[in-house]
Amino acid sequence: MQVKLFDSELKIMGVLWREGDATAKHISDVLKEETGWNKNTTYTLIKRCIKKGAIKRSEPNFMCHALISKEEVQEAETEELINKIYDGSADKLFAALLGRKKLSDRQIRQLKEIIEEEE
């Protein structure tokens, strides 16, 4: 299942991914501190995530549970980026990332290990 989430919805999911199941009130409190959002904004976004199938709501206390993992979203977003910006070519994305800055020896070793695992 692929769910398209907007940046604001990802902030809701981020709280659940970091902290696990949480009440809507707790999510609202966290995001008020982090973003300045009011309770109505947060609740509206939680309801959108529920409608999209990203969150399951249960009682008591409007408990929220993430139905999709951060890794699933990262994979879908990466796939979309590769298709949209790099013509479906992961190697073009990889080349662009490598060309952006000087990588440390440790980062280069990690990338080599990732490539070797995929071969």
Lowest mean pLDDT among 31-35, 53-57, 94-98, 113-117: 94-98
Between residues 41 and 3, which one has the greater pLDDT? Answer: 41
Q: Looking at 14-18, 79-83, 112-116, which range is the least confident one?
A: 112-116
pLDDT-derived band at 27 (thresholds 50, 70, 90) equals: very high
Q: Give alpha helix (H) positions in 61-104.
A: 70-85, 90-100
C-alpha–C-alpha distance, residues 111 and 62, integer Å: 42
Averaged over 99-111, what is the pLDDT? Answer: 80
> Using a CB cutoff of 8 Å and minimum separation of 24, what contacts does 44-50 make?
45/8, 45/9, 45/11, 45/12, 46/12, 48/9, 49/5, 49/9, 49/12, 49/13
